[in-house]
Structure 1
Amino acid sequence: MRLLFPPNPIKTSPTTFFNLQFPSRALSLLRSFSVRRLPPESSMAIPPSKSAKPSVDIEVGLARRFWIKFNRESVFAMYSPFCVCLASGNLNIKTFRHYIAQDFHFLKAFAQAYELAEGCADDDDAKITITKLRRDVLSELKMHDSVVQDWGLDLAKECSINSATVKYTNFLLATASGKVEGVKAPGKLATPFEKTKVAAYTLGAMTPCMRLYSFLGKEFKALLDPNDVCHPYRKWIDNYSSESFEESAMQTEELLDKLSVSLTGEELDIIEKLYHQAMKLELDFFLAQPLIQPTVIPLIKEHNPAEDQLMIFSDFDLTCTTVDSSAILAEIAIVTAPKSDQSQPENQIARMSSADLRNTWDLLSSQYTEEYEQCIESILPAEQVEFNYENLHKALEKLSEFEKRANDRVIESGVLKGLNLEDIKKAGEHLILHTGCASFFQNVVKNENLNTNVHILSYCWCGDLIRSAFSSGGLKELNVHANEFTFRESISTGEIVKKVESPIDKVKAFSDILTNSRNKKKNLTVYIGDSVGDLLCLLGADIGIVIGSSSSLRRVGKRFGVLFVPLFPGLVKKQKEYTEGSSSIWKGLTGTLYTVSSWAEVHAFILGS
């Protein structure tokens, strides 16, 4: 189990800390704690923890803020089967021809939209920038002519427009014509300022497309072998990863920022909605490209519920959550503890004072942090070795013994006595999960076309906290394997029913679940985790996905020969090798783990869009 203490315990009084407007004191506790920065690393008992993802800098421009806010759609576009195949170089030529024909309609709509925006702008510099951007689009259309010649395309035959292309081009031209809800058409606008608003709205609908193509071009370019001149789509990649295209994307964003300066909050909300809608329509465009070849993505594409079973396992603390559950439990214990001058009712479980409790937590935390680092150093080979699962398992047995001793000290200290079950459940209900985590699990368990089994394996002291966190999002179907508090009349006794305390406990639970689930169906296992405690499970699964950036996980893994591969490049590599009728390309115990930076990547890879 993990034990994480806040580096600077909250100093406010219980009355201030727990706002009485909430049904439970734990709710406001959680809200107060959730914005605090935690240390950068987390492990089992009292490691420092990865900090919560920082909020967007308010000084960042409007276009950049929107790009960050709607990052999910850009990830899903990159992970679309079309883009994975294009990046790999084995995209079927018929699909590429169809795409080029559709993109031709996109570019014509862009040129027309820029022309309409230029007529609405009342600033000479803005007009000059828009004119330049329109010329860039016309140059891009010429690039299409070059591609057409290279591939022998006949646009007269290839130009039938599909519904996804129609939806975006109609949306863009309607916006550029002022046909936005609550906005007058340009011909009816009374003032130059009202026209400028339409120009801003138009840029709001165009900017995400420019930024997305620049993003994809650079991502694909980074995967090209400089010596490989045979990649059939290198010219496309070179164009969208070029400095000139990046310059056009930046100019579009800067122009959007400039045109939006004088707009009201309500008008900025309109631009945000237009930006998001454009991103979604662009994603639909990539997904609509017809594929006539086998692909490695999404993982469930060939899933047959009658024959297959998808087993998904996940850690909880900092894999799913933005703060460690032990930190929440520690805060509840400290804040709800009696003051030193308060008398305690005889019929209640005796608790130490808040001051003594804080001091005890600090001592336990310091001791754990020092000994944890020493333990990690003691299990590392002097030099990097070849991957051997059994050797790694043996090394982590020593870490497991240390973790159990640390947890025994916590129990013996009495710091967990007196926590109210209602406070714990309320804290769980309002525990902040990483963006996209809950929606991923919701899509898994509610997909009637999937035969899935989902398990949460956690060192959390109190399984009730986890169950509350997921049940608030309608995810009661998840199987939770964690430790449990013991309660007397809903008040914790300070004891723990120990079920999953260490890396060895966790991998045993993982193995037992797989053994008990064996049937005639074909199992495919995925494990998602973030720390050293997850390492054995990550490697034992068919697919191990590391989320976050735990330095201790990578240090231990690399020293024991584990290879960490970013998921998208890994998929592109597998797509290059993938052919019709290939046997399963996923199997465990290979020593390779895949890294992601968000749950959007996990979702896009496993489920698709």
Structure 2
Amino acid sequence: MSSLQQQLPLITKLPLLLVDFDQTITIHDTIAPLGQFGVTQSHNRNPWSYFADSYLNDYRTHRNQLDHLPNECTFNDFVQQLNTYKPIEKASLARVSKHKVFQGLSRQAIKEKAFELSRTELQSNVISTLKLYKEQVRIVSLNWSKDWILGFLHQLGLEPEQIYCNDLTFMNDICTGDITPQILTTGDKQQLINESIRANHGVIYIGDSLGDIEPLVKSNIGIVIGNDLSLIKTLNDFGYTVQEDTSKASHLYRVDNWHQIKTILDKHYYTI
């Protein structure tokens, strides 16, 4: 039995492949382009900078009010502090909803704009890699729109049920302007991991930032894409070894691209 199999003793079903969206599947964060698109199309009286600046002000105020974690704090203490940002994320969605940034937009218009951006914003090899495991893929994101994500991943042909994120509300396929919150913190992402484990699925999680840290650590296999120094330092500080050699068995990897991710996935699914 391989070491990878030994790490997944309770699996009775194929592992689910849970993937963050912004800056994991895409090159850049896409919430700002989504927001700017909404502001432009709805002719909102507030520029997108109003919403971005309001969020950043709330974020910084909250950060400055947090108690400094002691050197002997645990990983769970750190995660709990990250989860205290949930009201800030929720307030941002409420602000955008209140000002009806997306009111009047159709699902089709949102998908078409996302598809247009996908031509330059998707990471190389991401579609070809995810296609191999399409039935296992679940997108887990703090993004605001399933239709936006579906537009970016049009070539993959995912179903809406495979996407977990905050979402715009619609009436007859026209947006009301409201956003329903669902995924706001690393803890919210972890809930999906827990549900998958209870269903006897293994979980492979791919993410890029501190917002992914709990599912990266608590999945059967965690894959960090990119070089977020804060994330890597935090993992090291809490004693998690991040393996950069994809040929070696590990619980946690760091990679630069989706070609390396494919190498890990091909090996992992093959050994199960």
TM over 0.5: yes
1:180 matched to which residue of 2? none
Match of residue 183, structure 2, among 500, 510, 521? 500
Q: Distance in 2 between matches of 1:543 and 1:497?
A: 30
Instruction: Report the structure number with the largest CA radius of gyration.
Output: 1
Q: Distance in 2 between matches of 1:441 and 1:596?
A: 16
Identity of aligned residues (%): 24
Matched, 1:513 2:220: no
Q: Distance in 1 between matches of 2:241 and 2:64?
A: 20
Matched, 1:599 2:258: yes
Output the aligned Cα RMSD.
Answer: 3.1
The correspondence of residues 335-346 of structure 1 with structure 2, limited to 5 A, is 335-338=40-43
1:326 matched to which residue of 2? 31
What are the Cα deviations for residues 367-405 of structure 1, in whole angstroms up to 9, with x where unaligned? 32243245446557455446x343233212212232222
TM-score, normalised by the number of residues in structure 2: 0.81
What are the Cα deviations for residues 38-65 of structure 1, in whole angstroms up to 9, with x where unaligned? xxxxxxxxxxxxxxxxxxxxxxxxxxxx
AA matched with 2:56: T
Matched, 1:462 2:145: yes
1:25 matched to which residue of 2? none
Deviation at 1:295, TM superposition (A): 7.2
AA matched with 1:530: D
Query: Do 1:411 and 1:494's aligned partners in 2 also have CA atoms closer than 8 Å?
Result: yes
The correspondence of residues 366-405 of structure 1 with structure 2, limited to 5 A, is 366-376=53-63, 381-382=68-69, 384-385=71-72, 388-405=74-91
Q: Distance in 1 between matches of 2:241 and 2:96?
A: 34
Q: Distance in 1 between matches of 2:152 and 2:99?
A: 27
TM-score, normalised by the number of residues in structure 1: 0.39
What are the Cα deviations for residues 397-420 of structure 1, in whole angstroms up to 9, with x where unaligned? 212232222322222232232323
Query: Do 2:42 and 2:103's aligned partners in 1 also have CA atoms closer than 8 Å?
Result: no
In 2 relative to 1, CA 330–315 (structure 1 residues): closer, same or farther, beyond 3 Å? Answer: same
Deviation at 1:550, TM superposition (A): 2.9
AA matched with 2:170: F
Query: Do 1:486 and 1:492's aligned partners in 2 also have CA atoms closer than 8 Å?
Result: yes
2:102 matched to which residue of 1? 416
Q: Secondary structure at the match of 2:170?
A: strand
What are the Cα deviations for residues 239-278 of structure 1, in whole angstroms up to 9, with x where unaligned? xxxxxxxxxxxxxxxxxxxxxxxxxxxxxxxxxxxxxxxx
AA matched with 1:366: D
Q: Which has the higher strand share?
A: 2
Matched, 1:567 2:258: no
Deviation at 1:325, TM superposition (A): 2.9
Matched, 1:472 2:155: yes
In 2 relative to 1, CA 526–426 (structure 1 residues): closer, same or farther, beyond 3 Å? Answer: same
Matched length: 261
Query: Do 1:461 and 1:484's aligned partners in 2 also have CA atoms closer than 8 Å?
Result: yes
In 2 relative to 1, CA 395–558 (structure 1 residues): closer, same or farther, beyond 3 Å? Answer: farther
The correspondence of residues 282-297 of structure 1 with structure 2, limited to 5 A, is none
Q: Distance in 1 between matches of 2:160 and 2:175?
A: 26
What are the Cα deviations for residues 425-462 of structure 1, in whole angstroms up to 9, with x where unaligned? 112333231001111111223xxxxxx63211111111
The correspondence of residues 90-105 of structure 1 with structure 2, limited to 5 A, is none
Q: Distance in 1 between matches of 2:219 and 2:183?
A: 18
In 2 relative to 1, CA 513–467 (structure 1 residues): closer, same or farther, beyond 3 Å? Answer: farther
2:130 matched to which residue of 1? 441
Q: Secondary structure at the match of 2:183?
A: coil
Gaps (5+ residues) in structure 2?
A: none
User: RCO (CA 8 Å, sep 6+): is it higher in 1 or 2?
Assistant: 2
1:155 matched to which residue of 2? none
2:217 matched to which residue of 1? 539
Q: Distance in 1 between matches of 2:161 and 2:263?
A: 20
Query: Do 2:145 and 2:167's aligned partners in 1 also have CA atoms closer than 8 Å?
Result: yes
Q: Secondary structure at the match of 1:567?
A: coil
Match of residue 407, structure 1, among 93, 98, 109? 93
Deviation at 1:501, TM superposition (A): 2.3
What are the Cα deviations for residues 326-359 of structure 1, in whole angstroms up to 9, with x where unaligned? 1232232233244xxxxxxxxxxxxx3xxx331x
Deviation at 1:562, TM superposition (A): 5.1
In 2 relative to 1, CA 601–380 (structure 1 residues): closer, same or farther, beyond 3 Å? Answer: farther
AA matched with 2:188: D
